[in-house]
Homo-oligomer: A and B are copies of this chain.
């Protein structure tokens, strides 16, 4: 039996398909969802950054296609990150994000933009790379850019 569009959408909602944003019941759960969204983005980013670090450290073999794919993913997610720091996302479930992010937003935005630039460059470099030597400098610059922001704005 074919279901109407409205029915399909309602079923999606009731199935919890839209966990994350659409069905916030109150301000607290909305804040929790924003923090969870941010943490999820960073988790996906880190899960792709990690294997690249292993390669650069010589702990895993270099596979040009996989390295480029992970670099592209990191760059794609990095571009989404500002949405993880919108108004309302400073509280909610436990977070490693320091309140200074929202108090010194210009500096935070500067470091975030620098990171986006460096991971973008890493992705560009990785596309044409043939060995780990080709990507090492760009990878280290990206890692340093991550660290610069964490040192200032992320709790240990």
Q: Which residues on A are within 8 Å of B, measured CB to CB?
A: 3, 5-6, 8-9, 11-13, 15-23, 33, 36-37, 39-44, 46-51, 53-54, 56-57, 73, 76-77, 80, 136-137, 140, 143-144, 146-147, 150-151, 154, 156
Contacts and interface: CB of A to CB of B under 8 A. Distances in A.
Given A41-B44, A140-B5, A51 B21 contact: yes
How many of these chains are in the complex? 2
Contacts of A57: 6, 9
Contact of A146 (B5, B12, B21, B77): B12
A37 B17 CA distance: 17
Contact of A13 (B6, B17, B37, B53): B53
A22 B51 contact: yes
B9 A143 contact: yes
B19 A43 contact: yes
Given A5-B136, A17-B143, A21-B46, 18 more contacts: A9-B53, A9-B143, A12-B53, A12-B143, A15-B150, A15-B154, A18-B50, A19-B43, A20-B49, A21-B51, A22-B50, A37-B44, A37-B47, A39-B40, A40-B40, A40-B41, A40-B43, A44-B77
